[in-house]
Amino acid sequence: MSLPRTPSFDLTGKCALVAGASSGIGLGCAAALAEYGAEVTLAARRVDLLTDIVDELTSEGRKARLLQLDVTDIDATAAAVAQQGPFDILVNSAGLARHSKASETALDDFDAVSDLNIRGAYFLTQAVAKGLLAAGRPGSLINISSQMAHVGGPERAVYCATKHAVEGFTKAFAIEWGKAKIRVNTICPTFILTDLTKATFEQPQKRAWIEDKIKLGRVGEVEDIMGAVVYLASDASALVTGTALMIDGGWTAE
């Protein structure tokens, strides 16, 4: 008899764009995709932060290049994606959080978080999809969302609102582009220990709240995301679209 074989996780020959690749989850995703054979364009606002990363990846024999990109500049982003693409894989890890009590939300904070987390994410995903549609190529588009896109949390009303929106347009995109074999999904991490989140974890009361919610009893690490992004980018997830991959240690199981 002929046994079934696991679909390939190999990304050789694929071109990937990772926005927000200069640190944290975005950096981890870029490294993972490069490790599995993709040619990765690492994008962020500050090119100086990307230079050392690209040098390190290429020194290991990976294929990597950098791109200065501010996804809140919609026209410039569309132009850059059109010039550099088409990209078979998108990972959008560019995001922003400004926490406050809901009764004290400042308009400037609301606008800044919304501009990046919703508007920027929407039109970046659109730009990559346009390139694939024009070329008649399939693709995998992945937005880094959050467990907070599925629950609420204190002092996180604006952040939760933006991530819920990402889940909404991800499902709509998946429906619209499915016949073109363009898959659109989200990855929803719990609290991941990075340089940006370190200040939160240094507050005993907040760390206790986080650890109580995570059923596996530990906070997340960047490495916890890397396998998931390879899975969603590869043929191993060929029938997965319009869904959210929870990497939350059981937070949302309640």
Q: Is 36 part of the annotated catalytic residue set?
A: no
Neighbours of 98 (CB within 10 A): 15
Q: d(Cα 111, Cα 106) in Å, to the nearest integer? A: 9
Which one of 36, 122, 159, 231 is the catalytic residue? 159
- Sequential DSSP letters for the chain: -----PPP---TT-EEEEETTTSHHHHHHHHHHHHTT-EEEEEES-HHHHHHHHHHHHHTT-EEEEEE--TT-HHHHHHHHHHH---SEEEE---------GGG--HHHHHHHHIIIIIIHHHHHHHHHHHHHHHT--EEEEEE--GGGTS--TT-HHHHHHHHHHHHHHHHHHHHHGGGTEEEEEEEE--B--TTTHHHHTSHHHHHHHHHH-TTSS-B-THHHHHHHHHHHSGGGTT--S-EEEESTTGGG-
Q: d(Cα 31, Cα 64) in Å, to the nearest integer? A: 9
User: Cβ distance 16 to 41 under 8 Å?
Assistant: yes
Instruction: Write out the catalytic residue numbers.
Output: 159
